[in-house]
Structure 1
Amino acid sequence: MKGRKLPPLNALKAFEAVARNRSFSLAAEELCVTHSAVSHQIKQLEEWLDKKLFIRHSSTTSLTRDAEELFCLCTHFFNDLEKCVFELKNKASEVEIIIGASHSFMANWLIPRLEKLEIIYPNIHVKLMTCNDLKLLEKEKIDIFINSLNLDQTLPESLDKYILFPDNMGPICNRKTYNLDTINDVLNYPLLHTNSNKNAWNIWLDRSRLHSAHKSSERYFDSLNLMIEAAVSGLGIAIAPQILVEKEILNGRVIAPFGFIYCDYNFYAVVRKNSANSEVMNIVNWLQCDAKTTS
């Protein structure tokens, strides 16, 4: 690959200073070099171009026609370069933060808030990774892990957790398929689960003081969104976190016939302890504040 065919940049810099000041002495003073150093740079440039650039008079210095054209180009070049360097110097460095969470949490809660987050922290680039494995945080594959955790669940000593909101759970179904006069009636219909939280129904039934031995058939789905679609289609009654189905309830796709109850689980943002006083904590603090204002 051929290099650029340009004269020495120091020579161009000296030329632009002399041309702007119309003086070798003033240019030397501005550049903090000697008069002879400036003269040497100009001579070098003239030899490179094979053109005479300045006409020296007794008290002034004027530009040749070729020099006037070069001066115009240099002025634009150095102005643009100066502006670019200033902006780069004063621009906050961009930091990438990787947030790991379930697909359903990202789709139903996190993604709708990303634009607002990026406006507040323009220097932070948020990258999302679908995961349910806390070990990815320990291995530094992600920076923030968001998931529903039991109150009594212990974490490795290297991690800290910050509560976002309670994980209230409750049954959801479509409006027409089921006859649910009392809470006991849910046991007469197929119960829908997600593979990521197979114990959700048992927790809710226990908290609601219903005996799970009388359950009807059960179906399992790989994701919350698939389970919701199954509930909308009338395949059964799903159990879901309130925070992740509020949109579906508002648009009338499902109902929560018995509301939602707290089952000793909360959604937490989990981070490594060495993330304190970093951009990671700025994200966590913002998530906490937004969760409080929108819950």
Structure 2
Amino acid sequence: MRKRVPLNSVRAFEAAARNASVSKAADELCVTPTAVSHQIRQLEDFLQVRLFVRRNNRIDLTPEARANLLRISQALDLIDTAMVELGGSQEDLRSQLSVAASTSVTSLWLMPKLNEYMAREPEVDFSVRSFLTRKEAETQDTDLKICNWRCEMDCQVEPLLEEETIPVASPALKARFGGDDRALLSQATLVHVDRAYDVQEGAEPDWPRYLGEFGIARPDVKHGPRFNQSGTAIDAAKAGVGIILGRSLLIEEARRRGELVAISEPYPVRSRYYLLSPWRTEGRTALQSFKDWLIETVRHNDHVHVV
């Protein structure tokens, strides 16, 4: 006999944990924040454990809650899927698709290509979500995820592509240095990007690592404007502010339009991206068609390398 688990409280906890916010969970569940807090307290009383550490206006998961969040989310997903199938809406399930990628990959690489997929599959109800942190990515509820780290989630993980890191500048800035790439690397302003999460095995270089690899010494290697988003750093480079270490996936459109040009060789180590999807995809025609289209798109891309 199953223990009578308070499912409403479980849903409130999972939504608050996934969104890292009681108010966002309340919006998602169409209830008040007070109701969500009440349900969480009920679940804590039921389990006799603390689920959150509350600090001012912020909530953090306890280690025990964090360790079980993924399984709880997956269990709720299974219930939702079963209810859809029980209600005879399998056609809706086949035509629905949600995809997540980092904010920069979404805006700079995926979005310019989505028109092609949507023209091919006009019946698909498509949803795109973006994330800023690894924690946010791994707790988001989406059908597919594109990540540049080896995720340990319980799902199918497939290598998708590898990208290069290459110094780029605006054509005007390159012309200002007379097209002398060595002079650009030695004297031009260095634009830095502070990543919100660790890339795989530390493979992606920063300026000290890149310049050291090619034997260029600069006393000001850590100076220059810093950005916490690749998109704004790329905009700065296009405006001639300085040179950036561009990720080939993200600067593809800017290079194609001639807004950025390469000024040196790529860093010798590439970064790998992975495609995360559910183990079971039977009947999910939209999911499979998107995976097929994405792999086909990668194969025809000159700026990335197929794994």
What TM-score does the superposition give when structure 2 sets the normalisation length?
A: 0.55
Q: State the shift of 1:168 in Å.
A: 0.7
Aligned partners of 1:124, 1:232: CA distance in 2, in Å? 35
Please tell me whether Structure 1 or Structure 2 has the larger radius of gyration of its CA atoms: 1
With over 3 angstroms needed to count, the CA separation of the structure-2 counterparts of 1:233 and 1:220, relative to structure 1, is: same
Matched, 1:234 2:240: yes
Question: Residue 247 of structure 1: which of 246, 253, 259 is its match?
Answer: 253
Q: State the shift of 1:287 in Å.
A: 0.6
Aligned partners of 2:287, 2:218: CA distance in 1, in Å? 42
Contact 1:92 1:123 (C-alpha < 8 Å) held by counterparts? no
Contact 2:169 2:238 (C-alpha < 8 Å) held by counterparts? yes
**Matched letter for residue 143 of structure 1:** D
- Pairing 1:118-267 to 2, within 5 Å after superposition: 118-136=118-136, 138-149=138-149, 154-177=150-173, 178-179=176-177, 181-183=180-182, 185-196=184-195, 200-208=206-214, 210=216, 215=221, 217-267=223-273
Task: Give the secondary structure class of the aligned counterpart of 2:100.
Answer: strand
- Structure 1's unaligned 5+ residue stretches are 1-88
Aligned partners of 2:218, 2:142: CA distance in 1, in Å? 38
Q: State the shift of 1:256 in Å.
A: 1.1
With over 3 angstroms needed to count, the CA separation of the structure-2 counterparts of 1:170 and 1:176, relative to structure 1, is: same
- Pairing 1:40-189 to 2, within 5 Å after superposition: 92-93=91-92, 95-136=95-136, 138-149=138-149, 154-177=150-173, 178-179=176-177, 181-183=180-182, 185-189=184-188
Aligned length: 202
Q: State the shift of 1:217 in Å.
A: 1.8
Task: Give the secondary structure class of the aligned counterpart of 1:191.
Answer: coil
Q: State the shift of 1:170 in Å.
A: 0.8
Contact 1:98 1:129 (C-alpha < 8 Å) held by counterparts? yes
With over 3 angstroms needed to count, the CA separation of the structure-2 counterparts of 1:242 and 1:157, relative to structure 1, is: closer
- Structure 2's unaligned 5+ residue stretches are 1-87, 197-203, 303-307
Q: State the shift of 1:206 in Å.
A: 5.0
**Matched letter for residue 291 of structure 2:** V
**Matched letter for residue 248 of structure 1:** A
Q: State the shift of 1:126 in Å.
A: 1.9
Aligned partners of 1:221, 1:182: CA distance in 2, in Å? 24
**Matched letter for residue 292 of structure 2:** N
Question: Residue 295 of structure 2: which of 281, 288, 291 is its match?
Answer: 288
Structural RMSD (CA)? 3.2
**Matched letter for residue 231 of structure 1:** A
Q: State the shift of 1:265 in Å.
A: 0.7
Q: State the shift of 1:246 in Å.
A: 2.5
Q: State the shift of 1:214 in Å.
A: 5.7
Contact 1:148 1:167 (C-alpha < 8 Å) held by counterparts? no
Partner deviation per Cα, 1:128-155 (whole Å, 9 max, x = no partner): 1121334445435222222333xxxx42
Identity of aligned residues (%): 16
Contact 2:165 2:270 (C-alpha < 8 Å) held by counterparts? no
